[in-house]
Amino acid sequence: MTASSSSSASTLIDEFYTSKSPLSPASLHSLLQRLLTHPRIHNGFVDILQLPSVQSTLENMDPAKRDSLVTSVKLFAFGTIREYQALKERDGDAVWTLTDAQLDKLRMLSVVSVARRGKNKSCEKADVEMISSDHAAVQNDSSLSIPYAILATELQITPVGTPFNDKDHLRQLEDVLIQCVSSNIIAGKLDQASRAFVVESHVALQEQQLPSSSLGMRKKDDGAHKSTITSNTVHGSLLSRDIDTTTAASTNTEVKRMISTLEDFLSSSNKLLSSLEDISNVSAAVRKEDEKRWRNVEKKLAEEGSGGSRFRAPGGDCDIIFEGGSDPMEVVDMSGRRKVKRSRGGHMGGRY
């Protein structure tokens, strides 16, 4: 979203909220038309209808015009292009006649609804029937594949009774899907090989196996730390549309969907917490080993520091030589060909 488009969206919404007196029917109609057309406003439509200034205007409007206005706005809140076409066929005055820009926007929002129903098909029997296992499949518990043919029907791209074909319908469908992704209302990709749109999970965990060495762990010959740590990333991918509480059935469906989403989030959070605890435990174990190793070094220094002696620190690649009880010491590599002597002043020098 660009800064200018974000600013224009905020300005438009502010016009509803800053109005302290009832809007005139003409002003309300004009503002709502702009709201439904704006390319960056995809939810919050029901909130606009519930504003006191809007409610006051609606109460004084002709009932037929009021119903048409409310129905049109609610289509963008939680409806689909399919429902719009059904309303127009049943009663042309029951809903506004949408512009091309508004139709494109409603199609995009319809893609979100189809994807969300596919994700939550266990909550709605109708959704299971619409997107059956033959048409939509959840892949690896993290993505949903929706065939182009199903989407084209839902978005009213293919006429009723007309099968989907690449020549007549592919370009229009993919244009809508690309616009959905570029507008950040859905995260997915076009799978042209299988003619399907793959939607990433709306609450998913992306797992990446991190080698033990990435945590600074030293490998042991006994394989004690030859393990991997799972890194989890929680991300969202579906736009949250307005909640439909117009009927008892729709309210029940929304509540079930929210419960399911919260349960998924809780499960994902628990997995992430478990992963972080594993990483913390491994780090603590490595630190404990380091402390033990250097305690041994200090002990050895205390035991051997009084007389000339030579020993190799655990894990070291060189010998440490103590000459009597004096401070200077020499460091000799394993081959014995190079000795580095440090003077009493702490200056390091080389001797070959």
Residue 118 CB neighbour total at 10 angstroms: 21
Model pLDDT for residues 111-129, shown as the tens digit of each residue: 999 998 887 663 443 333 3
What's the CA gap between 36 and 16, in Å, rounded?
A: 14
What pLDDT, on a 0 to 100 scale, did the predictor assign at position 238?
79
The values of phi and psi at residue 167, to 5°, are -65, -45
Q: Is residue 142 very low, low, confident or very high in pLDDT (cuts 50, 70, 90)? A: low
Q: What's the pLDDT band for 336 if we cut at 50, 70, 90? A: low
Cα–Cα distance measured from residue 212 to residue 229, given in angstroms and rounded to the nearest whole number: 7
pLDDT (tens digit per residue) in 15-48: 888 877 788 999 999 999 999 999 999 999 999 9
Q: Which residues contact 307 (CB under 8 A, 6 or more apart)?
A: 322, 324, 325
- Dump pLDDT digits (tens) for 231-271: 344 345 778 888 887 788 878 877 887 887 788 788 889 99
pLDDT at 23: 87
Q: Is 346 left (phi over 0), alpha (psi -120 to 50) or beta?
A: left
The answer to whether 198 touches 188, Cβ cutoff 8 Å, is yes
pTM (two decimals): 0.62
